[in-house]
């Protein structure tokens, strides 16, 4: 092992010191405010870059990079780092090496002649960036053992490492804007599919380089142990992000592994599984969720040809148009969170349910500058025919003439919007929703924005520009214009038991108009969600799933069970039997696979109450990740006396969550209190600043606006404008307006249905109206009102639904997918290092890598470990007794160590485990190797079983097969005539032709009575629709051929092949592929949807 001289060590130390200064200066440059300060920092960066180049030239050649030595310029926001070779030794000793306690007994392990200990990675970001935190890698394969003070044993294996790979290979190159030169990416760190296998110190720069290299080589998914990182390349910016639009996407094997693992664990344990996608807005969560759902249907749901898939695809097409909008950072931003619950039984999908979380109601009436309203409005204006426009009173209107749309971005791609609207219209038909009913409500919402109330001469308010727009809205909603006007401009109050009617001023009337528009829109979305969940499936016990989307499926099952056990039974025995039956069905359907695509963190300007709730959701998902990955691992080790060498210093965001959602002093609770006392935004902000004066998470903006405050979130700092907090949070609509839609005064049944629960509660007693208020968003019948006010506010309702979601996730096994944006401008194939590194720090990717590489992120009960991995040990050597489970686990580990001596010598990941009081703790490296050995052992066993059975089966069939072969060889020259069908009556004697007639007929047609007629040649075309398509044809493989993969050349699923003609084999086509000819069954291929190269005959 080569060593450095003393002077070289000093040079290396100075190199790392200067490199640290370079990083710190670059960070200051990113945060610089003035131009003069930025110029000074740029000059400092140039001088440090020159110093780094000088020091690097004095290092030994073994430590040199093959990358260009010119440091990056500050303008591109990139950094230059250097990793050292494994052959260099920084210190003679390592303070982090585990030292076994001499007073404790050593655990029984199998050791090789060279026994040593090694650390794995730096503890945190700061230490990881210095050379003192680098691991001391040993050149020999070693197994060490030690014991903790509590008696638990700690075992570690450090595999052989000959040299650490360079950060990037010499052929890699990057452009000034951060994009990549694809031709140079031939090898290097882009081949590292799991970040725990990175060679050298685990630093932010090493992680960033790996992600950058894989991004440039079109590998957008990277593992961190069981956690998956996804970088959005923005190759399909205009994609509608539905199941239909992702049909042509390349299926990722990384996502397929996640789906297979979720299905496997659910089928083996019956335990619910949750695939949780998290990341900033625009990081590709929705696109990834659609790919996951497609692959889940391929694995467990029968594929995209099933009715369930088509129904779900139609539902997402409709909901995407209704629930997505353009924001500053994301042109396809999902404003509705989704939790897709897929019921799987025995590995087969049989029911799906969509839970929606709708927050951004204000966007319907007021979009932020440079942003847009919901996509469906623009698509409807572009796709409606002139006849439909006339029916909807939209003739002469455009994006610029409708106030709800003209306040935001008015640019529009009418061709694309019209195409999407046609697809949306067709999908409404698939769901069984009347198209005209929905567009009538949407047109009424748009026209409501043009109804502007102004102060009149008397008590009543006037309508600016006349009442034409109001009459159009009334006609669309099926009510009279006078009734709608009264509902918008009058208010009933209950004063000491007396009902008093008052006229609203112009401002209040306009607010009521906006409340009606928001209520119509969000209730239409909720109705469509209920309809999307109402498809009857095999195994569904309740027929239709028409409950509110906010309720949990388990709550529904419980209610259905109670209802079924009490209704329609004649006695207690029948009731008890029905209860048992329903409980059995409920427990059989408890296991589900959920895909969570919730709101991503965002920082719009200005930020309103909806954005505070969205960021609270992002904070909560981050806390759930921290708790499951970091906190549970650390606390479990502490409880069972396991000492972990790597102490992960993760950032806990509980203080920020408490600041926002604490029960009494949280911002949302204080907002509810302020709304109940009719406070003002100024008084609310003042109380918040007094209550949280010393809270480090709350800061005051530099502008010192009396209605604004700032919060330090886990991702960045956000400034919120509280001007509309109170009005948005109140979220009410008066009963004067609701009663307008009663069936006696409204002839539009769909509009009456939207307010069905409210109308039922309102007309259950007299008088009507009586001065009560209802929620804008749909509410269940039991939670409608409390006195004159609704039971909950917008924030209370959202917080309740978020708690219910977390309660569901806590009881499920999570699978995390962390999504990253490659840049902030949605440019394809652009990797912005500053943007990505900011997300890496926010999502704590480096801390996750350190834990997975050097900690104990996995724990298993001794019995569970024994059941899963006991096949690694000969059957006769296992005790198989409950009291000897720990001994069996130790025996499994002994055989595991023996297996690693030949399997894992080339790996650079330390493999370690520890025996606790109730669990065995495993590192990610140990878990991966155990799984690999388990898969290999099962594969060998399956191969042996198949070989033995096939041999026995063939030997049993051989006499019959031999006899058939002999008969076939004898009759090969003479083809036997087909036997007559059994039961066919003999021909009548009178109908028989004489021999002379038969001879004349045969001579006429050239037939030979002694030989059967020849088989007609195969036709030189195929039928597609009403056309004859000639050869050659281009087709796409629907599955692998041959399926066993025994041939050297295999036609893979999704590949394009050329069909040159019909095959002599029945039902086959002749395929030419890479110079080889294949006889492929026609079921294995489908015609390519693009233009065919064949001839149209």
Q: For the segment 708-757, what is each residue's pLDDT rounded down to a tens digit? A: 999 999 999 999 999 999 999 988 999 999 999 999 999 999 999 999 99
Beta-carbon count within 10 A of 233 CB: 17
Taking the C-alpha atoms of residue 124 and residue 129, their distance in angstroms, rounded to an integer, is 9
Taking the C-alpha atoms of residue 779 and residue 776, their distance in angstroms, rounded to an integer, is 9
**Residues whose CB is less than 8 angstroms from the CB of residue 821 and which lie 6 or more positions away in sequence, other chains included:** 231, 232, 279, 280, 282, 283, 284, 835, 836, 839
- Whether 715 contacts 601, CB under 8 Å: yes
Q: What is the structure's pLDDT at 598?
A: 92
Q: What is the structure's pLDDT at 98?
A: 40
Q: What is the structure's pLDDT at 468?
A: 92
Task: Give the residue from 19, 13, 84, 12 showing the smallest Cα distance to 49.
Answer: 19
Q: What is the structure's pLDDT at 789?
A: 60
Taking the C-alpha atoms of residue 809 and residue 272, their distance in angstroms, rounded to an integer, is 9
Q: What is the structure's pLDDT at 343?
A: 87
CA atoms within 13 Å, Cβ hemisphere of 12: 25
Q: How confident is the model at residue 178 (pLDDT cuts 50, 70, 90)?
A: low
Residue 109 sits at φ, ψ, to 5 deg, of -140, 170
Q: What is the structure's pLDDT at 1043?
A: 72
Q: What is the structure's pLDDT at 645?
A: 81
Taking the C-alpha atoms of residue 970 and residue 965, their distance in angstroms, rounded to an integer, is 9
Q: How confident is the model at residue 680 (pLDDT cuts 50, 70, 90)?
A: very high
Pairing of strands 813-821, 227-232: parallel
In this predicted structure, the answer to whether residue 278 has a pLDDT above a threshold of 50 is yes
Alpha carbon 731 to its chain's center: 30
- Per-residue pLDDT, averaged over 83-103, amounts to 37
The Cα-based distances of 1035 to 1050, 1069, 1075 in angstroms read 15, 11, 17
pTM of the model: 0.71
Residue 468 sits at φ, ψ, to 5 deg, of -60, -45
Q: How confident is the model at residue 161 (pLDDT cuts 50, 70, 90)?
A: very low
The Cα-based distances of 968 to 14, 139, 668, 779, 963 in angstroms read 86, 66, 85, 76, 9
Q: What is the rounded average pLDDT for all residues in the chain? A: 79
Alpha carbon 393 to its chain's center: 40
**Residues whose CB is less than 8 angstroms from the CB of residue 851 and which lie 6 or more positions away in sequence, other chains included:** 629, 630, 633, 646, 648, 857
Taking the C-alpha atoms of residue 512 and residue 738, their distance in angstroms, rounded to an integer, is 11
Question: Which pair of tokens denotes residue 1056?
Answer: 């394009």
- Count Cβ atoms within 10 A of the Cβ of residue 996 and give its class: 0-12 exposed, 13-18 middle, 19 or more buried: exposed
Q: DSSP label at 141? A: -
Q: What is the structure's pLDDT at 171?
A: 37
| Buried b / exposed e along 319-346 (16+ C-beta atoms within 10 A) | bbbbbbbbbbbbbbbbbbbbbbbbbbbe
- Whether 818 contacts 845, CB under 8 Å: yes
Q: What is the structure's pLDDT at 284?
A: 93
Q: How confident is the model at residue 975 (pLDDT cuts 50, 70, 90)?
A: low
Q: How confident is the model at residue 590 (pLDDT cuts 50, 70, 90)?
A: low
Taking the C-alpha atoms of residue 779 and residue 587, their distance in angstroms, rounded to an integer, is 28
Q: What is the structure's pLDDT at 1017?
A: 67
Q: Is 826 left (phi over 0), alpha (psi -120 to 50) or beta?
A: left
Task: Give the residue from 1015, 849, 782 showing the smallest Cα distance to 208.
Answer: 849
- Whether 815 contacts 255, CB under 8 Å: no
In this predicted structure, the answer to whether residue 889 has a pLDDT above a threshold of 60 is yes
Taking the C-alpha atoms of residue 844 and residue 824, their distance in angstroms, rounded to an integer, is 20
Question: Which pair of tokens denotes residue 418?
Answer: 């019209």
Beta-carbon count within 10 A of 56 CB: 19
- Whether 82 contacts 208, CB under 8 Å: no
Q: How confident is the model at residue 11 (pLDDT cuts 50, 70, 90)?
A: low
- Whether 394 contacts 377, CB under 8 Å: no
Taking the C-alpha atoms of residue 437 and residue 69, their distance in angstroms, rounded to an integer, is 66
Q: What is the structure's pLDDT at 984?
A: 62
Instruction: Output 959 or 42, whichever has higher pLDDT.
Output: 959
- Count Cβ atoms within 10 A of the Cβ of residue 782 and give its class: 0-12 exposed, 13-18 middle, 19 or more buried: exposed
Task: Give the residue from 440, 516, 449 showing the smallest Cα distance to 483.
Answer: 516
Taking the C-alpha atoms of residue 164 and residue 605, their distance in angstroms, rounded to an integer, is 46
Taking the C-alpha atoms of residue 253 and residue 260, their distance in angstroms, rounded to an integer, is 10
Question: Which pair of tokens denotes residue 1039?
Answer: 């599955």
In this predicted structure, the answer to whether residue 604 has a pLDDT above a threshold of 60 is yes
Residue 50 sits at φ, ψ, to 5 deg, of -65, -40
Q: What is the structure's pLDDT at 498?
A: 87
The Cα-based distances of 1053 to 299, 751, 1040, 1042, 1050 in angstroms read 15, 48, 5, 11, 10
Task: Give the residue from 644, 693, 643 showing the smallest Cα distance to 665.
Answer: 693
Taking the C-alpha atoms of residue 300 and residue 297, their distance in angstroms, rounded to an integer, is 5
Provide the greatest CA pair distance for the chain.
Answer: 119
Alpha carbon 446 to its chain's center: 33
In this predicted structure, the answer to whether residue 471 has a pLDDT above a threshold of 50 is yes
Q: How confident is the model at residue 127 (pLDDT cuts 50, 70, 90)?
A: very low
Residue 393 sits at φ, ψ, to 5 deg, of 60, 35
The kind and range of the H/E element at 494 are: strand 490-495
Instruction: Output 1017 or 302, whichever has higher pLDDT.
Output: 302
- Whether 451 contacts 469, CB under 8 Å: yes
Q: What is the structure's pLDDT at 777?
A: 87
Q: Is the link from the previous residue into 263 a cis peptide, with omega within 30 of 0?
A: no
CA atoms within 13 Å, Cβ hemisphere of 835: 24
In this predicted structure, the answer to whether residue 440 has a pLDDT above a threshold of 60 is yes
In this predicted structure, the answer to whether residue 551 has a pLDDT above a threshold of 60 is no
Taking the C-alpha atoms of residue 295 and residue 686, their distance in angstroms, rounded to an integer, is 52
> How many residues comprise the chain?
1097
In this predicted structure, the answer to whether residue 508 has a pLDDT above a threshold of 70 is yes
Highest mean pLDDT among 168-182, 523-537, 980-994, 1036-1050 belongs to 523-537
Q: How confident is the model at residue 504 (pLDDT cuts 50, 70, 90)?
A: very high
Taking the C-alpha atoms of residue 841 and residue 27, their distance in angstroms, rounded to an integer, is 13
In this predicted structure, the answer to whether residue 883 has a pLDDT above a threshold of 90 is no
Pairing of strands 1076-1081, 732-734: unpaired
Taking the C-alpha atoms of residue 59 and residue 57, their distance in angstroms, rounded to an integer, is 6
Q: Is the link from the previous residue into 351 a cis peptide, with omega within 30 of 0?
A: no
Taking the C-alpha atoms of residue 470 and residue 449, their distance in angstroms, rounded to an integer, is 10
- Whether 762 contacts 738, CB under 8 Å: yes
Counts for the chain of helices (H) and strands (E), in that order = 33, 30
In this predicted structure, the answer to whether residue 661 has a pLDDT above a threshold of 90 is yes
Q: How confident is the model at residue 990 (pLDDT cuts 50, 70, 90)?
A: low
Taking the C-alpha atoms of residue 203 and residue 201, their distance in angstroms, rounded to an integer, is 6
Taking the C-alpha atoms of residue 96 and residue 762, their distance in angstroms, rounded to an integer, is 71
- Per-residue pLDDT, averaged over 556-568, amounts to 35
- Tell me if residue 1024 falls in helix, strand or coil: strand
- Token pair 């399926």 in the structure block, residue: 1043
Q: How confident is the model at residue 140 (pLDDT cuts 50, 70, 90)?
A: very low
Instruction: Output 11 or 795, whichever has higher pLDDT.
Output: 795
Beta-carbon count within 10 A of 1087 CB: 16
Instruction: Output 824 or 536, whichever has higher pLDDT.
Output: 824
- Token pair 């329609």 in the structure block, residue: 568
Taking the C-alpha atoms of residue 718 and residue 577, their distance in angstroms, rounded to an integer, is 57
| Buried b / exposed e along 502-539 (16+ C-beta atoms within 10 A) | eebebebbbbbbbbbbbbbbbbbbbbbbbbbbbbeeee
Q: What is the structure's pLDDT at 61?
A: 52
Instruction: Output 99 or 321, whichever has higher pLDDT.
Output: 321
- Whether 337 contacts 330, CB under 8 Å: no
In this predicted structure, the answer to whether residue 546 has a pLDDT above a threshold of 50 is no
């Amino acid at each position: 092992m080569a060593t450095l001289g003393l002077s070289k060590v000093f040079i290396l130390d100075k190199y790392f010191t200067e490199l640290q200064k370079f990083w710190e200066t670059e960070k200051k440059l990113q945060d610089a405010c003035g131009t003069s300060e930025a110029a000074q920092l740029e000059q400092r960066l140039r001088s440090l870059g020159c110093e780094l180049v000088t020091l690097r030239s004095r290092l030994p050649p073994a430590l040199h990079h093959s990358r260009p030595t010119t440091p990056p310029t500050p303008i591109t926001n990139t950094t230059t780092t250097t990793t050292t070779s494994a052959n260099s030794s920084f210190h003679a000793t390592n303070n982090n090496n585990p030292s076994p306690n001499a007073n404790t007994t050593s655990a029984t392990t199998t050791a090789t002649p060279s026994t040593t200990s090694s650390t794995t990675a730096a503890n945190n970001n700061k230490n990881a960036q210095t050379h003192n935190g680098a691991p001391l890698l040993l050149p020999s394969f070693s197994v060490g053992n030690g014991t903790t003070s509590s008696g638990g044993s700690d075992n570690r294996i450090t595999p052989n490492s000959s040299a650490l790979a360079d950060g990037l290979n010499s052929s890699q190159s990057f452009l000034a804007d951060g994009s990549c030169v694809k031709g140079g990416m031939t090898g290097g760190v882009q081949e590292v599919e799991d970040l725990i296998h990175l060679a050298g110190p685990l630093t932010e720069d090493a992680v960033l380089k790996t992600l950058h290299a894989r991004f440039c080589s079109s590998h957008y998914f990277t593992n961190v142990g069981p956690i998956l990182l996804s970088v959005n390349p923005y190759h399909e910016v205009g994609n509608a992000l539905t199941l239909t639009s992702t049909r042509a996407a390349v299926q990722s094997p990384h996502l397929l592994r996640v789906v297979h693992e979720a299905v496997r664990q659910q089928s083996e344990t019956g335990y619910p599984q949750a695939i949780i996608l998290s990341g900033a807005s625009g990081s590709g969560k929705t696109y990834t969720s659609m790919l996951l759902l497609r692959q889940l249907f391929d694995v467990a749901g029968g594929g995209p040809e099933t009715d369930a898939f088509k129904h779900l695809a139609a539902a997402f097409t409709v909901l995407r148009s209704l629930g997505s909008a353009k924001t500053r950072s994301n042109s396809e931003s999902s404003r509705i969170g989704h939790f897709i619950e897929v019921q799987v039984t025995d590995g087969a999908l049989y029911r799906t349910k969509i839970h929606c979380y709708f927050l951004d109601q204000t966007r319907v009436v007021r979009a932020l500058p440079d942003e847009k309203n919901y996509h469906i409005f623009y698509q409807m204006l572009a796709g409606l025919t002139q006849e439909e426009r006339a029916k909807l009173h939209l003739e002469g209107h455009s994006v610029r003439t409708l106030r709800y749309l003209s306040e935001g971005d008015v640019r529009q791609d009418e061709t694309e919007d019209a195409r999407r609207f046609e697809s949306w219209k067709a999908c409404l038909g698939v769901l069984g929703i009347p198209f005209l009913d929905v567009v009538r409500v949407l047109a009424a919402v748009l026209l409501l924005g043009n109804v502007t109330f102004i102060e009149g001469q008397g008590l009543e308010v006037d309508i600016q520009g006349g009442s034409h727009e109001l009459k159009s809205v009334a006609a669309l909603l099926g009510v009279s214009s006078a009734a709608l006007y009264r509902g918008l401009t009058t208010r009933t109050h209950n004063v000491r038991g007396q009902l008093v009617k008052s006229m609203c001023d112009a401002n209040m009337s306009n607010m009521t108009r906006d409340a009606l528009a928001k209520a119509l829109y969000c209730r239409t979305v909720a109705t469509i969600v209920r309809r999307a969940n109402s498809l009857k499936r095999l195994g569904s016990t309740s027929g239709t799933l028409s409950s509110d989307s906010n309720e949990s499926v388990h709550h529904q099952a419980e209610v259905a069970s109670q209802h079924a056990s009490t209704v329609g039974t004649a006695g207690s025995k029948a009731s008890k039997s029905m209860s048992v039956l329903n409980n059995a069905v409920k427990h059989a359907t408890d296991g589900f696979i959920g895909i969570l695509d919730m709101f991503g963190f965002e920082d719009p300007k200005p930020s309103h109450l909806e954005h505070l709730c969205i960021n609270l959701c992002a904070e909560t998902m981050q806390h759930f990740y921290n708790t499951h990955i970091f906190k549970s691992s650390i606390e479990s080790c502490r409880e069972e006396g396991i000492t972990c060498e790597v102490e992960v210093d993760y950032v806990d965001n509980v203080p920020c969550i408490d600041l926002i959602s604490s029960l009494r002093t949280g911002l949302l609770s204080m907002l509810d209190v302020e709304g109940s006392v009719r406070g003002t935004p100024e008084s609310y902000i003042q109380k918040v600043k007094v209550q949280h004066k010393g809270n480090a998470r709350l800061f005051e903006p530099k502008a010192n606006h009396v209605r604004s405050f700032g919060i330090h979130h886990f991702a960045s700092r956000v400034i919120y404008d509280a001007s509309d907090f109170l009005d948005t949070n109140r979220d009410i609509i008066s009963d004067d307006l609701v009663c307008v839609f009663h069936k006696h005064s409204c002839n539009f049944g769909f509009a009456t249905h939207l307010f069905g629960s409210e109308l039922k509660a309102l007309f259950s007693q007299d008088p009507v109206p009586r001065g009560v208020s209802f929620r804008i968003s749909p509410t269940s019948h039991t939670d409608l009102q409390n006195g004159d006010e609704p039971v909950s506010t917008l924030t209370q309702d959202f917080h309740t639904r978020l708690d219910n979601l977390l309660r569901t996730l806590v009881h499920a096994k999570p699978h995390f997918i962390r999504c990253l944006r490659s840049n902030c401008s949605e440019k394809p194939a652009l990797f912005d290092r500053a943007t990505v590194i900011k997300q890496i720090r926010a999502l704590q990717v480096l801390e996750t890598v350190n834990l997975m590489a050097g900690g104990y992120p996995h724990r298993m009960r001794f019995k569970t470990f024994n059941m899963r991995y006991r096949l690694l040990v000969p059957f006769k050597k296992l005790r198989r007794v409950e009291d000897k489970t720990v001994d069996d686990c130790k025996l499994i580990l002994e055989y595991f160590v023996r297996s690693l001596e030949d399997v894992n010598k080339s790996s650079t990941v330390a493999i370690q485990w520890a025996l606790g009081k109730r669990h065995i703790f495993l590192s990610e490296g140990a878990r991966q190797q155990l799984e690999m050995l388990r898969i290999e052992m099962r594969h060998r066993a399956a191969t042996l079983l198949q070989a033995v059975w096939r041999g026995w089966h063939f030997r049993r069939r051989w006499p019959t097969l031999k006899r058939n072969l002999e008969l076939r060889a004898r009759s090969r020259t003479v083809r036997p005539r087909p036997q007559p069908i059994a039961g066919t009556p003999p021909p009548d004697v009178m109908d028989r032709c004489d021999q002379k007639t038969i001879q004349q007929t045969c001579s006429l047609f050239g037939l030979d009575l002694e030989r059967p007629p020849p088989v007609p040649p195969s036709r030189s075309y195929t039928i597609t629709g009403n056309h004859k398509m000639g050869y050659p044809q281009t087709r796409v493989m629907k599955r692998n051929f041959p399926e066993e993969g025994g041939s050297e050349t295999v036609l893979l699923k999704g590949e394009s092949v050329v069909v040159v003609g019909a095959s002599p084999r029945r039902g086959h086509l002749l395929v030419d592929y890479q110079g080889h000819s294949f006889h492929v069954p026609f079921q294995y291929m489908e015609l390519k949807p693009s233009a065919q190269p064949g001839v149209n005959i």
